[in-house]
């Protein structure tokens, strides 16, 4: 076993159609097709002589045969050419062509106008990802020794590069296995490019509004008014074909007449008029668009086609776009003060950024932000997120010094793997809170394996967010509760909570809520109890909760809070005040403030404090203790539920990041070959018993010794070699659950038992599954008694492969003690899977039973994860049962099934 990297290379971007260049502009990337011949020839003809010579090392034109080869990317095991496009013209061409089965030659050409923007590096990364997926291990290239830009591309690629010089040229070769430093460097380049592309949207120098009119109720007019009333620090322009001015702003007749320097245009016109306006904006040099207009993908197939065409047009011009079908965006930075939306309210400025996939919900949340005293740094309604998505905004807000917390309202994931990669990194410094709509699965899908049957649609979402360190909430109220806590208070160092109250009932409710949230109300001992007892009445409870009884006054609260904050047994503090003497309420609140200030002054500044106060004088405002804002609730349950989620996040953030592992004894090509041959021969489906065994063997997954017998004599011979007792099972790829058919026999101790079992199993199969393909009878060595577990793979159409693990056996779907993670798994993911199931107590040793071999089980999970990643043809895999033996004795897979489907790399450039 060996560490791959703290983060895997970004292969999740390999088939995205968009490239974001170093200057923040964009290009469209795709694989070539035979119809590209004329465009390819034109591209090479228009290269400058110097660029042409650097590409071909000759002044001569490329041959027709070479042009034809560039335009044929149908077989990625032989060649691939990627083209980057702007306005339907090629601006860069990158190719690899196979030299051997493991190595390929790579070459680039970039339009002179686009050199220096990082386009070659991006294309090299794409080529490397596709080459690796198709079995290549090395790239070769030849370039001139003075071709500094291209040499820099190769050196910065993140791969191990070797070179040698020969007559003014340099021959380079490098391994396609990326280094951790190279992965980090690539991530940094992508992040900087994304930030540069979002800057014109959230910090534009000038904004144009297209769609404003003299009707003040029109959306365009409302947006123009919002820009004015928010006192936007940049310039505002308006486009109208007839008006001289609107709302006092001089109007241009066409977007083409806009002055230079307009970074963003807000478009609020009927959908049919949008494409022409995009061309006009591009002609004026506008860098980004906010398309408010509805009538695109949300309306059905025709709208989807119109939206796809719009995205192609926007990217063809090198622009970024928010929307369509959105409500706009806000940046509350005092240096920007941008309100390019039709929201009737503007929240206070603060440190929380918010991205919403729903415009209507976004308006409601902007209104709630003010009433809940939550200050925002920025708000973006991404609408249909045809281009700019939450992934882009996460990278922008990661580097924004004013943003401390990021909130997301999500309805779908466009590229969940990129989301996970970015969120896992961002969450190490800034918490991300997500409200994901659509928990239930509308309808059902047929599943032939236990693993697939247990993986509902929301399972993948839950796994992805958990692995990424994202705090998932269930309601808008909870979203605000958690956000306020994160924005105003430090993260807890642990899960121990102190409760200070003047009423026993709320104290009990708080204790129950803590236990439900995974927090603990640890009893005080020693010095803490002594200090509390020194001033509280004998009727008070000082053990935690600190129940000071109803007579508690301001000084009691002040002293108790200061002591509780200083207590070494606590990591967080909940202060509850139930007014029983209205005239003293304000004084007691002052005592609470004083206690918090005193506790902070003593050095206890790293413990979050929450107040639960039902006093009318406080209203809904947070409690102020000096310069500190204390999140305030009416009842303790909401405060504690939020604290529980924050504590979970704090634990994730403080723990070492998980590492991705690989193994020196796996044979990826062998497993791929078996699966691809099955697809070619049978169109996919369930692998045979022999094929399944061979795939597992290629990845070092330990299985019980077994072989398929085709006659009673052969069965007896196999059993004799393995050693009695043995098991006999029906061998058939088309029979899902053999036990239910009575096609399994265990503990066969003699040759006679084996003969009888062989005959009975085939007879049983002939009666219960007539017409199905029967491979024979599997003879398998009996595995010593162990704990039956399940491990498997299922493929989610959006999230890709999921790895499942839990209690196994024939009743796995009844007990449903199975958890999932999105592949690839880190070592931390594997450990969490092991310890999250309810059956972990059985594995750790229960009622005198010795502990099971958790190390061997963890090894299986990591190998299954690599199998899910490296052999994408696998649609479902069930290892059930996996017999887990005592510690140090390993595991054995007793039964396994694998279903394969079409080759994953048949198309290139399919995702937005």
CA distances from 52 to 47, 309, 625 (A): 6, 32, 69
How deeply is 733 buried, as exposed, middle or buried, from its count of CB atoms within 10 A (0-12, 13-18, 19+)? buried
The DSSP bridge pattern shows strands 706-709 and 685-686 to be unpaired
Residue 151: predicted pLDDT: 74
615-651 residue pLDDT tens: 665 556 789 999 999 999 998 999 999 999 999 999 9
pLDDT tens track for 370-418: 888 899 999 999 999 999 999 999 999 999 999 999 999 998 888 898 9
Report whether pLDDT(166) > 80: no
Question: Hey, what are 39's tokens?
Answer: 């465009």
pLDDT at 909: 39
In the structure encoding, which two tokens stand for residue 285, read together? 């040099």
Q: How far apart are CA 884 and CA 704, in angstroms?
A: 12
Which helix (H) or strand (E) covers residue 30, if one does? strand 26-31
Following DSSP, what letter does each residue of 363-402 receive, concatenated? HHHHHHHHHTT--EEEEEE-TT-SSS-HHHHHHHHHS-TT
pLDDT tens digits, one per residue of 237-291: 999 999 999 999 999 999 999 999 999 999 999 999 999 999 999 999 999 999 9
pLDDT for 181 beyond 80: no
Token pair 């997500």 is found at 434
3 state SS of 250: strand
What pLDDT score was predicted for residue 908?
Answer: 40
pLDDT at position 339 over 90: yes
Please give the pLDDT value at position 442: 42
Question: Are 634 and 648 contacting, i.e. CB atoms less than 8 angstroms apart?
Answer: no
Q: What is the pLDDT of residues 726-768, one digit of tens each?
A: 999 999 877 767 777 888 999 999 999 999 999 999 988 887 7
Cα separation, 790 vs 817, whole angstroms: 10
Q: ∠ at Cα 121 (117, 126), nearest 5°?
A: 125
In the sheet that holds 706-709, the strands lie side by side as: 706-709, 776-781, 726-731, 744-748
pLDDT, position 660: 86
Largest CA distance in the chain: 101
Q: What is the pLDDT of residue 720?
A: 94
Instruction: For the chain, give percent helix, strand, coil, nearest 5.
Output: 40, 25, 35
β-bridge partners, 879: 791, 896
pLDDT of residue 184 exceeding 90, the answer is no
**906 pLDDT above the threshold of 50:** no
pLDDT of residue 41: 95
Q: Are 874 and 675 in contact (CB under 8 A)?
A: yes
Does the pLDDT at position 174 exceed 50? yes
For the cut 90, the answer to whether the pLDDT of residue 170 exceeds it is no
Cβ-contact 131, 174 below 8 angstroms:
no
Per-residue pLDDT at 451 exceeds 60: no
What does the pLDDT average to over 523-540?
A: 93
pLDDT reading at 48 higher than 70: yes
The token pair that represents 70 in the structure block: 């560039």
In this structure, of 36-45, 304-313, 740-749, the range with the lowest mean pLDDT score is: 740-749
Q: What is the mean predicted confidence (pLDDT) over 586-601?
A: 94
Residue 10 sits at φ, ψ, to 5 deg, of: -80, 60
Alpha helices in 427-499 (DSSP H): 450-454, 457-467, 476-488
- Quickly list H helices, 399-518: 416-426, 450-454, 457-467, 476-488, 504-516
> What confidence category does residue 54 fall into, taking pLDDT thresholds of 50, 70 and 90?
confident
Segment 691-714, tens digit of pLDDT:
999 999 999 999 999 999 999 999
The stretch 123-144 carries a mean pLDDT of: 88
Q: How far apart are CA 804 and CA 878, in angstroms?
A: 9
Task: Name 536's Cβ contacts closer than 8 Å, sequence gap at least 6.
Answer: 542, 546, 548, 552, 556, 560
Condensed to tens digits (0 to 9), the pLDDT of residues 869-896 reads 999 999 999 999 999 999 999 999 999 9
Half-sphere exposure of residue 103: CA atoms within 13 angstroms, side-chain side? 11
Please report the pLDDT score of residue 117 as a whole number: 93
Instruction: Return the sign of the alpha-carbon dihedral for residues 200, 201, 203, 204.
Output: positive
Tokens 């996460």 — which residue?
A: 394
Q: What is the rounded average pLDDT of the residues 822-838? A: 94
SS3 433: strand
Using the CB atoms, write b or e for 407-422: b if 16+ within 10 Å.
bbbbeebbbbbbbbbb
pLDDT of residue 812: 80
Coil, helix or strand at residue 469: coil
Residues 247, 228: contact at Cβ < 8 Å? yes
Q: Distance between CA 905 and CA 912 in Å, rounded?
A: 16
Q: Which residues contact 458 (CB under 8 A, 6 or more apart)?
A: 438, 439, 440, 441
Token digits of residue 399: 């580097």
- Orientation of helix 416-426 relative to helix 457-467, angle to 10°: 30
Half-sphere exposure (Cβ direction) of 650: Cα atoms closer than 13 Å: 23
- State the chain's mean pLDDT as an integer: 90
Is 903's pLDDT higher than 60?
no
Q: Nearest-CA neighbor of 468 among 641, 653, 662, 645?
A: 653
Burial string for 347-367 (b: 16+ CB within 10 Å, else e) reads: bebbbbbbbbbbbebbbebbe
Tokens of 393: 């905004």
Which phi and psi angles does 757 have, rounded to 5°?
-65, -40
């Amino acid at each position: 076993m060996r560490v791959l990297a703290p983060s895997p290379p970004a292969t999740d971007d390999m088939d995205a159609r968009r490239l974001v260049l170093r200057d923040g502009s964009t290009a469209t990337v795709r694989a070539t097709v035979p119809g590209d011949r004329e465009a390819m020839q034109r591209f090479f003809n228009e290269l400058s002589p110097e660029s042409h010579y650097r590409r071909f090392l000759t002044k001569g034109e490329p041959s027709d045969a070479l042009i034809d080869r560039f335009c044929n990317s149908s077989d990625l095991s032989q060649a691939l050419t990627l083209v980057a496009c702007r306005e339907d013209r090629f601006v860069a061409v990158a190719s690899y062509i196979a030299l051997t089965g493991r190595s390929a030659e790579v070459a680039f050409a970039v339009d002179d106008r686009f050199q220096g923007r990082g386009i070659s590096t991006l294309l090299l990364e794409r080529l490397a990802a596709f080459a690796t997926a198709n079995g290549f291990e090395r790239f070769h290239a030849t370039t001139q020794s003075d071709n500094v830009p291209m040499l820099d591309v190769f050196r910065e690629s993140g791969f191990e590069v070797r070179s040698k010089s020969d007559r003014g040229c340099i021959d380079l070769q490098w391994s396609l296995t990326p280094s951790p430093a190279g992965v980090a460097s690539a991530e940094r380049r992508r992040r900087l490019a994304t930030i540069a592309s979002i800057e014109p949207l959230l910090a534009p120098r000038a904004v144009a509004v297209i769609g404003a009119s003299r009707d003040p109720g029109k959306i365009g007019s409302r947006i123009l008014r919002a820009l004015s009333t928010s006192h936007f620090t940049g310039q505002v322009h308006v486009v109208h074909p007839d008006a001289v001015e609107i709302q006092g702003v001089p109007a241009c007749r066409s977007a083409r007449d806009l002055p230079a320097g307009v970074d963003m245009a807000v478009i609020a016109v009927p959908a049919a008029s949008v494409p022409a306006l995009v061309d006009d904006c591009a002609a004026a040099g506008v860098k980004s668009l906010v398309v408010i207009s509805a009538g695109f993908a949300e309306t059905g197939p025709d709208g989807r086609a119109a939206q796809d065409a719009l995205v192609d047009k926007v990217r063809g011009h090198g622009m970024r776009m928010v929307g369509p079908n959105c409500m706009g965006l806000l940046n509350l930075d005092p240096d920007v003060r941008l309100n390019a939306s039709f929201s009737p309210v503007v929240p206070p400025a603060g440190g929380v950024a918010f991205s919403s996939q729903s415009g209507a919900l976004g308006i409601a949340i902007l209104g709630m932000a003010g009433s809940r005293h939550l200050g925002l740094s920025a708000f973006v309604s991404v609408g249909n997120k045809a281009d700019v998505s939450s992934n882009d905004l996460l990278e922008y807000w990661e580097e924004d010094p004013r943003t401390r917390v990021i909130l997301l309202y999500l309805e779908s994931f466009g590229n969940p793997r990129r989301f996970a990669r970015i969120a896992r990194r961002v969450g190490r410094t800034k918490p991300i809170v997500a409200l994901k709509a659509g928990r239930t699965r509308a309808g059902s899908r047929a599943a032939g394996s236990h693993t697939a049957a247990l993986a509902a649609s929301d399972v993948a979402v839950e796994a992805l967010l958990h692995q990424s360190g994202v705090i998932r909430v269930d309601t808008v109220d909870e979203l605000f509760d958690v956000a306020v806590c994160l924005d105003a208070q430090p993260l807890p160092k642990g899960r121990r909570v102190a409760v200070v109250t003047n009423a026993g009932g709320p104290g009990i409710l708080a204790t129950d809520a803590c236990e439900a949230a995974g927090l603990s109300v640890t009893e005080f001992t020693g010095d803490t109890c002594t200090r509390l007892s020194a001033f509280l009445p004998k009727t008070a409870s000082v053990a935690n909760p600190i129940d000071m009884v109803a007579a508690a006054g301001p000084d009691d609260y002040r002293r108790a809070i200061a002591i509780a904050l200083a207590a070494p047994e606590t990591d967080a503090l909940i202060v509850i005040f139930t007014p029983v003497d209205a005239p003293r309420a304000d004084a007691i609140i002052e005592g609470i403030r004083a206690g918090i200030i005193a506790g902070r002054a003593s050095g206890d500044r790293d413990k979050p404090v929450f107040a639960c106060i039902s006093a009318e004088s406080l209203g809904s405002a947070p409690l102020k203790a000096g310069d500190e804002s204390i999140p305030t609730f009416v009842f303790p349950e909401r405060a504690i539920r939020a604290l529980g989620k924050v504590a979970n996040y704090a634990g994730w953030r403080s723990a070492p990041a998980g590492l991705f592992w690989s193994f020196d004894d796996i044979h990826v090509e062998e497993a791929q070959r078996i699966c691809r041959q099955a697809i070619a021969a049978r169109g996919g489906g369930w692998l045979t018993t022999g094929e399944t065994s061979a795939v597992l063997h290629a990845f070092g997954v330990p299985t019980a010794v077994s072989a398929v017998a085709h006659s009673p004599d052969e069965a007896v011979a196999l059993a004799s070699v393995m050693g009695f007792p043995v098991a006999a099972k029906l061998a058939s790829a088309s029979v899902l659950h053999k036990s239910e058919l009575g096609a399994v026999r265990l503990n066969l101790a003699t040759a006679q038992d084996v003969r009888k079992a062989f005959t009975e199993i085939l007879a049983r199969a002939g009666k219960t599954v007539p017409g199905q393909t029967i491979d024979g009878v599997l003879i398998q060595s009996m595995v010593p008694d162990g704990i039956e577990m399940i491990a498997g793979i299922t493929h989610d159409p959006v999230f890709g492969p999921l790895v499942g693990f839990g209690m196994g056996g024939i009743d796995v779907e009844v007990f449903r003690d199975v958890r999932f993670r999105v592949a690839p798994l880190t070592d931390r993911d594997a450990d969490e899977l092991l310890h999250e199931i309810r059956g972990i107590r059985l594995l750790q040793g229960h009622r005198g039973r010795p502990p099971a071999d958790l190390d061997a089980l963890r090894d299986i999970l990591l190998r299954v994860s690599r199998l899910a990643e490296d052999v994408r043809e696998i649609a479902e895999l069930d290892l059930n049962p996996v017999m887990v033996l005592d510690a140090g004795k390993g595991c054995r897979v007793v039964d396994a099934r694998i279903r394969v489907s079409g080759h994953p790399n048949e198309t290139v450039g399919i995702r937005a």
